[in-house]
Every structure is written in structure tokens, then in C-alpha cells.
Chains A and B, each alone.
Chain A
Amino acid sequence: MIIKKIFCFIFLAALLFGSGVSQAAEEWGIDHEKKARFEAKVVDVLCELSGDCPANCGGGERQLGLLKDDGTLILAVKNVDAFAGAVNDLIGFCQKRIVADGLLINNPKAPLFALQFKKLAPDGRWSRAGQFGKDWSKANGGKKGSEWFKNDSTIKKVISENGVYGILGLKAKE
């Protein structure tokens, strides 16, 4: 009986997740935010603006944007991992069309996009935009990607050299 239930569960899970059930952005309570889902081509922003175009959109070394059919360039600055950007999620789609789902932050200071889900357009499989944490975990012996910023060796070095406030020896008033 239990085995039958497990099989039913697996079947339903495969049906739900394997058939490309659409994912949907969630609100984060940020001023000027608006849920947005759109098709666009993944581009290297510096290449798009200046014509300085290395192979494969810079291979993860360049900030990436989403170029809509009407010519609008959207800067993808954030994914769903804490304190992480969207490059790891988008680099696999360099020069390809994707469906991006997330939050447009239409702040007058600068319009930005936070990527929450993505899929190859038009019928790829949705995946959550949490690639940075996965990649970091893989590169760091399986440590938890969710707490990457507490354990990252580069960050530890910068903070140990300059202090938490950026000025070595500076302390808060008691």
C-alpha cells in the first residue's frame, strides 16, 4: 500500500514538474516593483552598448542583460540567492531567447530586473534562478550555498584586511 502511494506521488511529481508547469514570480515588497514575464535575448551588456564583444558573452565575466524585441535593454542584476546576481543563471543562454520571470524594479534612479525563474523560449523547462548558490556550493566542497557570503574565502580576505566597515580598526561608538 505504501509502495503504491510512493509510486503515485512520484508519478504526480513527474507530471507536475516534468511537464513544464509554469513558475511564477513572487513579490518582495520593494518600492516600484512589478511582476514581469517576457521573452528576450540574453546579451552581454558591454557588448550591446560598445561593440566590445568577447566570445560566449564573456563566459561569466560580463554583466548580462535581456534584450526585448522592441530594443529595450533590461539590466538583470539579481537572482533569488542572497546577495547574488543573475550572471550564473543567464550565461548558459548567451545569445538565446529565454522567457524571464521576475520583478521589474521601475525605480527612477535606475530600472533593474530581479530574475526569479527562467526557461529557454518558448517551450523550455522552467528552472529557479538560484544558480549562483549551486555553483558556489559545488566549488566549495558542498558547503551550503544559502550561506555562501558567510563562508566565501574572497570575502573573508577582504573583510579581514579592511574590517567590517572598510577601515581597519574603526569601531562603533559604545
Chain B
Amino acid sequence: MDGADRKGSMMIKVITMVLALAFALSAVPDAQAAKSKRVSVTGEIVDTWCYVTEIMYGLGTAHHQCAVWCAAGGIPVSVKDKAGNIYVVLKVEGDASNVANSRILNIQTHKVTVDGDLYERDGVKYLIVTKVANDQGIVNLTHDEYGIQPFGK
């Protein structure tokens, strides 16, 4: 093998390695690659578990006490919009905690409009609330129909 052949062979090896590396890197999930989208969401603050699983009626005044229990117990809280989309709240304005957050406890079941950054990952919509733009309080009166969920009085 003369010098030119060796040089050509080396080039092919380098190109092959670069291509292999590029392929390998593209296949590795990038934890920080998620891109957010600015959104404004209007809906009811709900307990994620009770609403999604439908293990009980999980909306409005009928479910308020249970929603407070679940939020205090550290279950993620979500905003449910009119279309039924669930936005799991990961941060509220400057608060450091998203587990049993005291501000959320006090506005549980309220109808709110929030501005924030939306991340979508593996079927879940996650919301970082940058501003609670409007808080209408509790407007979904469901207790006459559903009583007090889940145990009654």
C-alpha cells in the first residue's frame, strides 16, 4: 500500500467514525433538550390523580376537600382546561416548592387563568406558571349533585 492509499484509507476510517459518532449521539436521549412554549391556560385547579383516574368525581365543590388532602399529601396539582386537557403544575411564580405548595392549597378548585411555559414529554403536559393572571375563585358548584367526595359527610 503506497502513501496515497494509506491516506485514503485513513480518511474513510475517520469519516466512518464521525458518522458512527453522529448516529450514536442522535440516538441518546437529551435530558435538557426539551423546548417550552409560552401559553395561557384557563381552567380549574384539580387533583391530578383523582381527576385522571376517575376513581371518584374529581371536580368542583364536591371534590374540594379531597383535592386539599391530595395536594397536602404531595400529589401533583394540575389545571384542567375546558377541553379536558390536564396541565401538571411544576412551578408557581417564584415558589421553590411544587410539593404541598401552600399557595396552591389555598386556591385549590379555583378557576384561574395562568400564563406560563409549557413542556410536553411522553404524553404529559407540564406547566411552569409564571403568572396567575386571573383568579375567579370556585365557580364549579358540584356538591348538590355529588355530595362530598369520596366519603360523604
- The interface of chain A, by Cβ under 8 A from chain B, is 28, 30-31, 43, 45-46, 48-52, 54, 58, 60-63, 67, 70-75, 77-78, 81-88, 105, 107-112, 114, 132, 148-149, 152, 154-155, 158-159, 162, 164-167, 170, 172-173
Within the assembled complex, what's the spacing in Å between the Cα atoms of A114 and B52?
12
Within the assembled complex, what's the spacing in Å between the Cα atoms of A162 and B52?
25
A77 touches B138 (CB 8 A): no
- Closest residue of chain A to B91, judged by CB? A46
With A109-B52, A152-B72 as contacts: A73 and B121 at CB distance below 8 Å: yes
Chain B CB count within 10 A is highest, among A28, A30, A87, A112, for A112
A48 touches B31 (CB 8 A): yes
With A88-B74, A132-B74, A165-B138 as contacts: A78 and B124 at CB distance below 8 Å: no
With A77-B76, A87-B74, A110-B125 as contacts: A71 and B98 at CB distance below 8 Å: no
Taking CB atoms, residues of chain A closer than 8 Å to B36 are 49-50
The 7 tightest CB contacts between A and B, nearest first, are: A71-B29, A85-B74, A84-B73, A166-B64, A165-B61, A61-B97, A83-B69
B52 touches A83 (CB 8 A): no
Contact of A62 among B88, B97, B122 (CB under 8 A): B97
**Min distance, Cβ B32 to any Cβ of chain A, angstroms:** 5
The contact sample of 16 A-B pairs, CB cut-off 8 A, is: A49-B126, A58-B99, A61-B98, A62-B97, A77-B48, A78-B49, A83-B75, A87-B99, A110-B52, A110-B124, A112-B53, A154-B102, A158-B105, A164-B148, A165-B61, A170-B141
A63 touches B122 (CB 8 A): no
Taking CB atoms, residues of chain A closer than 8 Å to B69 are 83, 149, 155
Beyond the given pairs A49-B36, A50-B34, A75-B76, 18 more chain A to chain B contacts, judged by CB atoms under 8 angstroms and listed by A's residue number, are A49-B119, A50-B128, A60-B99, A62-B98, A70-B29, A78-B75, A83-B75, A85-B75, A85-B76, A85-B99, A109-B85, A111-B123, A154-B102, A154-B105, A158-B68, A158-B108, A159-B65, A167-B137
Q: Does B96 contact A (CB under 8 A)?
A: yes
A173 touches B124 (CB 8 A): no
Within the assembled complex, what's the spacing in Å between the Cα atoms of A28 and B53?
11
Contact of B144 among A73, A83, A159, A173 (CB under 8 A): A173
B121 touches A165 (CB 8 A): no
**Min distance, Cβ B76 to any Cβ of chain A, angstroms:** 5
A81 touches B48 (CB 8 A): no
Within the assembled complex, what's the spacing in Å between the Cα atoms of A60 and B97?
8
A81 touches B73 (CB 8 A): yes
A112 touches B48 (CB 8 A): yes
Within the assembled complex, what's the spacing in Å between the Cα atoms of A162 and B67?
13
Taking CB atoms, residues of chain A closer than 8 Å to B49 are 77-78, 112, 114
B72 touches A110 (CB 8 A): no
Within the assembled complex, what's the spacing in Å between the Cα atoms of A1 and B147?
57
Within the assembled complex, what's the spacing in Å between the Cα atoms of A144 and B39?
43
B108-133 vs A, Cβ < 8 Å mask (1 yes, 0 no): 11100000010101111110100000
B143 touches A67 (CB 8 A): no
